[in-house]
Chain A
């Protein structure tokens, strides 16, 4: 069974940092591009960032570019998101999501999400 399990969320002060992790199982992790998608409380979905299967290419939403960094360790089947210079508007549930197929950024598998709260 394919499973994605996020961790690393929590309460952080404005300007602080966090690192989120997403552990994958049941799939050939390195074969798939992965994304982070977030959802602020009571709001819609917002794509944050993605990374190719080999980690060679990344993309970011304008709202996080320069502050967040996506990476992956295919030897550990784990995706990461480093969140720096956090702002109140970054408060959200962060989901990791798997591309359905090579070059197809529709997400057929999602984790359960990890909550990030930015507040003093």
Chain B
């Protein structure tokens, strides 16, 4: 079970944004973060909790271990208004968090 918070976040361009994902048990750092724009497929941002996927802007970063993880956007850009999901891949069934929608303030 993956629990994301908040479910909705209102922010302005330039803001620093942090999203949290909690696992019900240790997932050995096997956590991914995705961005999804409405009507599009998800896009991988971070894998292994803190590794930046190739081509993803460096304003995105991931951290955490054990059961608590965070995704940080250092300076929110207009393209970043989207929904973000965490996903554990330590064990089956693979599970996603409920999502965090980042809205324009």
The chain A residues found within 8 Å of chain B, CB to CB, are: 35, 44-47, 50, 59-62, 95, 100, 104-108, 110-113
**Of the candidates B30, B42, B93, which one forms a contact with A107 in the assembled complex, judged by CB atoms under 8 Å apart?**
B42
Smallest CB separation, B94 vs chain A (Å): 4
CA distance A108 to B87 in the complex (A): 13
B95 within 8 Å of A (CB atoms): yes
Whether A46 pairs with B96 at a CB distance below 8 angstroms is yes
Smallest CB separation, A4 vs chain B (Å): 9
Task: Indicate whether A106 sits within 8 Å of B32 (C-beta atoms), given known contacts A95-B41, A112-B41, A113-B41.
Answer: yes
B81 within 8 Å of A (CB atoms): no
| Chain A residue contacts of B82, Cβ below 8 A | none
**Of the candidates A44, A50, A100, A111, which one forms a contact with B94 in the assembled complex, judged by CB atoms under 8 Å apart?**
A50
CA distance A111 to B41 in the complex (A): 7
How many pairs of A and B residues are in contact by the CB < 8 Å rule? 59
| Chain A residue contacts of B41, Cβ below 8 A | 95, 110-113
B85 within 8 Å of A (CB atoms): yes
CA distance A101 to B52 in the complex (A): 14
| Chain B residue contacts of A60, Cβ below 8 A | 93
| Chain A residue contacts of B98, Cβ below 8 A | 44
CA distance A45 to B96 in the complex (A): 6
The secondary structure that dominates the A interface is: strand
B47 within 8 Å of A (CB atoms): yes
Q: List 9 A-B contacts (CB under 8 A).
A: A44-B96, A44-B99, A45-B36, A104-B30, A105-B30, A105-B94, A107-B44, A110-B42, A111-B41
Whether A59 pairs with B85 at a CB distance below 8 angstroms is no
Smallest CB separation, B40 vs chain A (Å): 8
Other contacts beyond A44-B99, A47-B96, A104-B30: 10, CB < 8 A: A35-B94, A45-B99, A59-B92, A100-B44, A105-B30, A106-B30, A106-B48, A107-B32, A108-B47, A110-B43
**Of the candidates A45, A61, A105, A108, which one forms a contact with B89 in the assembled complex, judged by CB atoms under 8 Å apart?**
A105
| Chain A residue contacts of B94, Cβ below 8 A | 35, 47, 50, 105
Smallest CB separation, B97 vs chain A (Å): 8
